[in-house]
Amino acid sequence: MLQVECFTFNAFQENTYLIIDDKKECWVVDPGMYDNAEVSMLTNYLENHRLLPKAIINTHTHLDHIFGVNALKNLYNIPFGIHTGDVPVLNGAAGAAMLFGFNFPNIPTVDFYIQEHQPIPNGPEGIETRLAPGHSPGSIIFYHQEGKWVIGGDVLFYGSIGRTDLPGGNHNTLLKSIATELYTLPEDTVVYSGHGVVTTIGHEKQYNPFVRG
Ligand SMILES: [Zn+2]
């Protein structure tokens, strides 16, 4: 069974997740550590729990979800994987950093690509990847049926949905992704979002003001 740990980093209060398996191998989803103190918070956790990081797998590549990628690649020599649809977003990250006033000189290099409905290369077993564009063109979600959870990135939040005003975003596409890729999951599925608290598919289908199931 896979476990999930959550950390919240950087000025955007971004949620970084660890997926941990029974062998104490782990995968870092959306590393958002901005400074050395935040990097230490994560690496101390890994060391204290004797976890072995295997790869970085991202739901998408907005700035706040990739701040910590290079630090992890340098420390652990692990590969970084994204969906091909988000390559333009990653390539725009330096410009986005300047726009938002952040220091982010080196855009991380992609080492492998993650495809929907395919096993994740270098990834944990038992995860189903679904493509859920709209917030960004290559947004993917990681669904673990056995554990009844999904790591959903910035697609769906507790009582809200992802913004669609950034390059490559599309509101109608996002609504369709939520309906077809998230609201089709069992209602007791826990949703770990890219920002804010956890929710469930059932709660959002009933109460989300943007999209009801
Ligand atoms: Zn985002």
Residue 213 covered by a domain = no
2 C-alpha to ligand 1 centroid (Å) = 24
139 C-alpha to ligand 1 centroid (Å) = 9
Statement: residue 209 has pLDDT above 90: yes
pLDDT for res 103: 83
Question: Which residue did the predictor score with more confidence, 131 or 103?
Answer: 131
pLDDT for res 180: 98
Residues of the chain above pLDDT 70, percent: 100
- State how beta strands 149-153 and 190-193 pair: parallel
Structural domain count of the chain: 1
Statement: residue 17 has pLDDT above 90: yes
96 C-alpha to ligand 1 centroid (Å) = 12
Mean pLDDT computed over every residue of the chain: 97
4 C-alpha to ligand 1 centroid (Å) = 20
136 C-alpha to ligand 1 centroid (Å) = 7
Q: Which domain range does residue 36 map to?
A: 3-207
**3-state secondary structure (DSSP) of residue 99:** helix
Residue 140 covered by a domain = yes
135 C-alpha to ligand 1 centroid (Å) = 7
- 70: domain CATH number is 3.60.15.10
